[in-house]
Structure 1
Amino acid sequence: MSSKNVLKWSIDDKPVKVDKWDGTALKNSLDDSAKKVLVDKMGFVESHHLMDGRLIICTIAIAFAIFALVWDYLKPFPNSRPILIICVLAYFFLIGILTLYTSYREKGIFLVALDRDAAGVDPDNVWTISSYVKKYDDMYHLVIDYKDGKKGSERTANFKHSVAKFFDDNGVLAYDIYEQELKLLINSLMSEKKEK
């Protein structure tokens, strides 16, 4: 095998194969494929602000836990009791905030993509994609929210299909079929934008 062939091959050349009975794996592979379409193929820029919020909350919670550990090492238990109580309460409070953040702010959103203005003058258009699969169900729900950066208007489109439409009997993702469905949804939002 020559070095030219090695450099041309990429992980994208391999088809995605998952256990067809694992609903979480099916959902995650479809989510990753949607991310690939918007970011790699359509050229949108992924925004990490939503995930950064989660990371900040987790970092603060871990800082309290580490501080409690160090304090207890420096001043063994009877002397460290008030600090340990404060740190443990703060840690559980922050975990509660994290739970609320993931439940009510993230809401299953796996991608926030920015469609940058070519001139760099107008604000970015924001595409937010979320999905869910109910437990013991084969229906994949995908929701795309579009916010026009210039006008501030918002539109939503969604589809609901069985995962069997996108995977064959061996659990291999039919990427072309999924990409076509996703692009139809995105184009419907873009055509609404042009009509208005």
Structure 2
Amino acid sequence: MATSQEKITVYNLADLKNTSDDAIPNYLNSLGFRQSHHLTDVRLALGYSAFALAAACFAWDYQLGFDSTKYFTAAAVAAYTLLNGALTLWVVYAERGTVYVGTSPPSAGGERTVRISTSTTKGVPTYHLTVEVTGGKKNGGVEVLKVARAFTEWFDAAGHFVAAPFQAMLAGSVPVIGKADPKRAAAAKKESGGDDATPAYTPEMLDVLAQANVSVVGSAAEEATGAEAAGKKGGKRRKA
């Protein structure tokens, strides 16, 4: 399936970003990348620990009364503050808008750690990606790639997400992804004429793809990206 059946409001920047964010792990995992959930696991551990502490504080206060538990309550409040402070610092400084962390497959030229962070600017329909690739150089350094593309390259006028141009953008902009999906990378290079600033698909082409619901370049990854991104519309959204 090249195009998602559900559609979003094209004027809602958060929906545009969240739908695109959801499509990244679907696409990369379908190419054989091994996703790491370490950042999410730590965030959940901190959040649930703070919740469990608050619940325990309520329980012992309800059962024993405030006077006999006030010192425990004071300690719990301090611990709760520390946990929430740690959670805030983790989200701001450790996650930094990260939507994907994973290891590339052998077909991509060896195992490399890929970290993708995304962001948008209020009122500007441009998708900004920062891709950090670790292990690609002989000295084990970090290669940082920055990509900025308009959402109109993979959303049609009706708000349908079109997988083919989105995947082509990733494969054509990030070499390690392009090696894992050479067909999509070649299509991106051919359509753009070698100029990364030129969109591979015009709005008219996106409308045709959405109506026909077919793929420009066949790929099993495209079905995963389009279908699973659409399936997350009703789920919890990340903040733009």
Give the TM-score range, shorter chain.
0.7 to 0.9
Q: 2:59 aligns with which of 61, 70, 80?
A: 70
1:64-143 equivalences under 5 Å are 64-117=53-106, 124-143=111-130
The alignment's TM-score, normalised by the length of structure 2, stands at: 0.66
Identity %: 28
Q: Is the 8 A contact 1:57 1:94 kept in 2?
A: yes
Counterpart residue number, 1:29:
19
Q: Is the 8 A contact 2:154 2:163 kept in 1?
A: yes
Counterpart residue number, 2:38:
49
C-alpha distance in structure 2 between counterparts of 1:22 and 1:33, whole Å: 17
Counterpart residue number, 2:213:
none
Counterpart residue number, 1:20:
10
Q: Is the 8 A contact 1:116 1:124 kept in 2?
A: yes
Please report how far the alpha carbon of residue 89 of structure 1 lies from its aligned counterpart in structure 2 after TM superposition: 2.2
Please report how far the alpha carbon of residue 16 of structure 1 lies from its aligned counterpart in structure 2 after TM superposition: 4.9
C-alpha distance in structure 2 between counterparts of 1:149 and 1:64, whole Å: 43
Structure 1 gaps of 5+ residues are 1-9, 192-196
Please report how far the alpha carbon of residue 172 of structure 1 lies from its aligned counterpart in structure 2 after TM superposition: 0.9
Q: Which amino acid aligns with 1:66?
A: A
Please report how far the alpha carbon of residue 15 of structure 1 lies from its aligned counterpart in structure 2 after TM superposition: 3.6
Structure 2 gaps of 5+ residues are 180-240
Higher deviation after alignment, 101-110 or 28-37 = 28-37
Counterpart residue number, 1:4:
none
Kindly indicate whether residue 134 of structure 2 is the aligned counterpart of residue 144 of structure 1.
no
C-alpha distance in structure 2 between counterparts of 1:65 and 1:149, whole Å: 45
Kindly indicate whether residue 169 of structure 2 is the aligned counterpart of residue 169 of structure 1.
no
Greater RCO (Cα-Cα under 8 Å, separation 6 or more): 2
Please report how far the alpha carbon of residue 73 of structure 1 lies from its aligned counterpart in structure 2 after TM superposition: 2.1
Count of aligned residue pairs for this structure pair: 176
C-alpha distance in structure 2 between counterparts of 1:17 and 1:84, whole Å: 48
C-alpha distance in structure 2 between counterparts of 1:76 and 1:114, whole Å: 52
Q: Is the 8 A contact 1:109 1:129 kept in 2?
A: yes
Q: Is the 8 A contact 1:157 1:189 kept in 2?
A: no
Q: Which amino acid aligns with 1:129?
A: I
SS in 1 for 2:52: helix
Counterpart residue number, 1:185:
173
Q: CA RMSD in A?
A: 2.4
Please report how far the alpha carbon of residue 112 of structure 1 lies from its aligned counterpart in structure 2 after TM superposition: 0.4
C-alpha distance in structure 2 between counterparts of 1:65 and 1:105, whole Å: 25
SS in 1 for 2:122: coil
The alignment's TM-score, normalised by the length of structure 1, stands at: 0.80
